[in-house]
Amino acid sequence: MERNSSTGPAADPAPVGEADHVSKSFGETRALVDVSLEVRPGECHGLVGRNGAGKSTLVSLLTGLSRPDRGSIRLEGQPAPGLADRGAWLARAACVYQRSMVVPPLTVAENVFLNRPTGGNDTLVHWRAMRDRAHELMLDWGFDLDVDQEAGRLTVEQRQIVEIARALSIGARLLILDEPTAALEKAAVERLFEHVKRLRSGGVGVLYISHHLEEIYEICDRVTVLRDGELVLSGRVRDVPQANLVAAMVGTAPPKRATEIEAVEKTGAAGEKRLQVDHLNVLSRAGSVDGVSLVVRAGECVGLVGLDGSGSATVADAIVGLVKPRSGTVSINGAAPRPGKVDAAFRRGVGYVPQDRHARGFAPQLGVSENLTLTVFDRFARRFGIVSFGERDTIARGLVEKLQIVAQSLGQPVSSLSGGNQQKVVVGRALAPDPSVLVAVNPTVGVDVASKEALLDALGSARDQGVAILLVSDDFEDLRICTRLIVMVRGRIAVEFASPPWDRQRLISAVEGLEVAV
């Protein structure tokens, strides 16, 4: 993206947003340490960093949702208003979050002017003036949107426009876009970039947060990299080669695995095809999938790696039947279960470790034993479906031992277990029916180190016993049990990594959407 340097700052106007040596801690966690950053009018400033690098904390400081422990925030050259003065913040800085902040039942115009006077009168809503002004605003900024439409019917892209228009109409000069393209299709991304360029030339300063580094190169003037709460790199985009950017994000890895991810060396050919996915197309809010094909054989553990919204989790959902694909097939052990039917997939021998254990993983008030055996009721149910508790507990005891679940008793409610043990119950439940295919989504998320080891060991031994495992994860620690990696970017398979060890940096580059040669 070339930028005409003659439009650069003439009299060096005050930055629209500025963080001056800010630090912020939450308890023991140091979320930000002495970070300085400024967004000038007419500039698009990229902010990148891996999850947990401190991007969200910086955004919350810049939008007045929290206050820095040390350092200061300035907006348009003025000291930041107090936290209680929401109106003053909204008039200077706005953030378009990934989570939509539009009100579905209201019209576009109403959403733009939410809680603001529209006519001469402060308490009454002047409908015509509001519509006219919203329409004018859309024309001014080149947004093509009917202001009388109900916001609930808008696409993700259109909702973003509503939020951008709202921010602009309040007068915000600092606009923060938090991963705006995560849920957008290619054409919509192009249109968004057009809008950003227009905003820039209108004197708005944009802070652009994205995991997709190629976007930073396309749209941003400068880029700042955060890692573990610290600013590690800041400079003009054209002066920062991609390799440096990636290196700054990754940092120096722990000495033991300096550049490589150790994983099992799988010797000998893998077994027969257990899971086959052909040209899968899924439309999903959580990340669409576009023409994905893959095969997992017995005894293999294939790592499906991708960012949030890359579609990797959606592939898993489609395999187990939680979402119905638009087209394409999933076959398990040579036969295709009815698409979109979870019980059909399970009957074909699929085990499933869901992404969100609280939502789908277990029934919190039920006991350990009951949760572990939810998937195998029919095995110990006797005549007329009457459950034999003795047999149930025998099965459960085996799983408790295998996964080293720490619980006071088999009847202890799962809700009262630690996160690590809860997750072990979820994995145990998936392993209980001796699945031939296991689909696991982020199986070690949010658990302690010891539990993580236990979980990975259990999955590893299942793999060695011939289970075909598809491991969807963005945690590189998980990948040590994998025999092969597939990287997904924007719903497509970007690249495959055959056998370990894998180069950490190349893997990250691939995941972040940069071209890599394999």
Partner 1 sequence: MLALNFFRELTLVPVIIVLMIAGAIVNPVFFTSSNLINVAEGGSALGMVVVAETLILLTGKFDISLQGTFGLAALLGAWLIAPKASSGLGAELSPWLGLVIVLLVGLVVGTFNGFLVIKANFNAFIFTLAMSILLTGLQLGWLGGQTVYALPEVFIYIGAESWFGVPVSVWITVVTFAAAALFLRYHRVGRAMYAIGGNLEAARAAGIQVDRIRIGVFMVASILAAVGGLMQAGRVTAVTAGQGSNLIFGVFAAAVIGGVSLDGGRGRMVGALTGVILLSLVTNILTLSSISSTWIDAVDGAIILIALGLAKLIGTERA
DSSP designation for 404: T
Strands (E) in 419-511, as ranges, are 437-441, 468-472, 484-489, 492-497, 502-503
Q: Does 86 bind partner 1 (CB under 8 A)?
A: yes
Among 98-106, 310-318, 406-414, 490-498, the segment contacting partner 1 (CB under 8 A): 98-106
Q: Are strands 205-209 and 44-48 parallel, antiparallel or unpaired?
A: parallel
Minimum CB separation from partner 1 for residue 138, in Å?
15
Amino acid at 134: A
Distance CA 273, CA 253 (A): 36
Do 229 and 62 touch, CB atoms closer than 8 A?
no
Distance CA 198, CA 344 (A): 51
**x/- site string to partner 1, residues 183 to 222, per CB under 8 A?**
----------------------------------------
- The CA-atom distances, in angstroms, between 512 and each of 26, 249, 474 are 28, 11, 11
Q: Does 253 bind partner 1 (CB under 8 A)?
A: no
Minimum CB separation from partner 1 for residue 344, in Å?
29
Among 12-20, 36-44, 123-131, 268-276, the segment contacting partner 1 (CB under 8 A): 123-131
Minimum CB separation from partner 1 for residue 147, in Å?
10
* 423: helix, strand or coil: helix
Would you say 125 or 283 has its CB closer to partner 1? 125
Would you say 102 or 426 has its CB closer to partner 1? 102
Nearest Cα residue to 173 out of 89, 102, 284, 298: 89
CB atoms within 10 A of CB 100: 16
* 153: helix, strand or coil: helix
Q: Using CB under 8 A, which of 21, 51, 124, 461 touches partner 1?
A: 124
Distance CA 439, CA 320 (A): 8
Minimum CB separation from partner 1 for residue 125, in Å?
5
Minimum CB separation from partner 1 for residue 118, in Å?
9
3-state secondary structure 61-94: HHCCCCCCCEEEEEECCEECCCCCCHHHHHCCEE
Would you say 153 or 256 has its CB closer to partner 1? 153
Would you say 27 or 105 has its CB closer to partner 1? 105
What six digits make up the tokens of 449? 């180190």
Q: Does 344 bind partner 1 (CB under 8 A)?
A: no
Would you say 105 or 385 has its CB closer to partner 1? 105
Would you say 103 or 342 has its CB closer to partner 1? 103
Would you say 36 or 121 has its CB closer to partner 1? 121
Minimum CB separation from partner 1 for residue 111, in Å?
8
Do 407 and 451 touch, CB atoms closer than 8 A?
no
HSE-CB for 469 with a 13 A CA cutoff: 34
Q: Using CB under 8 A, which of 12, 122, 265, 378 touches partner 1?
A: 122
* Size, binding site for partner 1 by CB under 8 A: 24
What six digits make up the tokens of 120? 């001469």
DSSP designation for 212: -
Do 277 and 294 touch, CB atoms closer than 8 A?
yes
Among 14-22, 35-43, 113-121, 178-186, the segment contacting partner 1 (CB under 8 A): 113-121
Which residues does residue 261 pair with via DSSP β-bridges, in sequence order?
502
3-state secondary structure 425-467: HHHHHHHCCCCCEEEEECCCCCCCHHHHHHHHHHHHHHHHCCC
Distance CA 409, CA 314 (A): 36
Q: Does 171 bind partner 1 (CB under 8 A)?
A: no
Would you say 122 or 401 has its CB closer to partner 1? 122
Q: What are the phi and psi torsion angles at 225 (to 5°)? A: -110, 130
Minimum CB separation from partner 1 for residue 361, in Å?
24
Q: Using CB under 8 A, which of 77, 87, 203, 411 touches partner 1?
A: 87
Please name the residue that has the structure tokens 């919509």.
Answer: 188
Q: Does 511 bind partner 1 (CB under 8 A)?
A: no
Q: Using CB under 8 A, which of 115, 252, 267, 408 touches partner 1?
A: 115
Q: Using CB under 8 A, which of 90, 249, 319, 425 touches partner 1?
A: 90
Q: Using CB under 8 A, which of 29, 70, 82, 125 touches partner 1?
A: 125
Would you say 148 or 515 has its CB closer to partner 1? 148
DSSP designation for 338: P
Q: Does 81 bind partner 1 (CB under 8 A)?
A: no
Would you say 26 or 127 has its CB closer to partner 1? 127
Q: Does 338 bind partner 1 (CB under 8 A)?
A: no
Among 120-128, 132-140, 331-339, 349-357, the segment contacting partner 1 (CB under 8 A): 120-128
Please name the residue that has the structure tokens 């109403």.
Answer: 110
Do 483 and 300 touch, CB atoms closer than 8 A?
yes
Length of the chain equals: 518
Q: Using CB under 8 A, which of 8, 82, 104, 334 touches partner 1?
A: 104
What residues contact 140, with CB distance under 8 A and at least 6 apart? none
Among 83-91, 205-213, 249-257, 279-287, the segment contacting partner 1 (CB under 8 A): 83-91
What six digits make up the tokens of 46? 């990229």
Question: Interaction with partner 1 in 133-152: which residues (CB under 8 A)?
Answer: 146, 148-150
Question: Interaction with partner 1 in 290-319: which residues (CB under 8 A)?
Answer: none
Q: Does 105 bind partner 1 (CB under 8 A)?
A: yes
The site for partner 1 (CB under 8 A) is made up of 86-87, 90, 99-106, 110, 114-115, 117, 122-125, 127, 146, 148-150
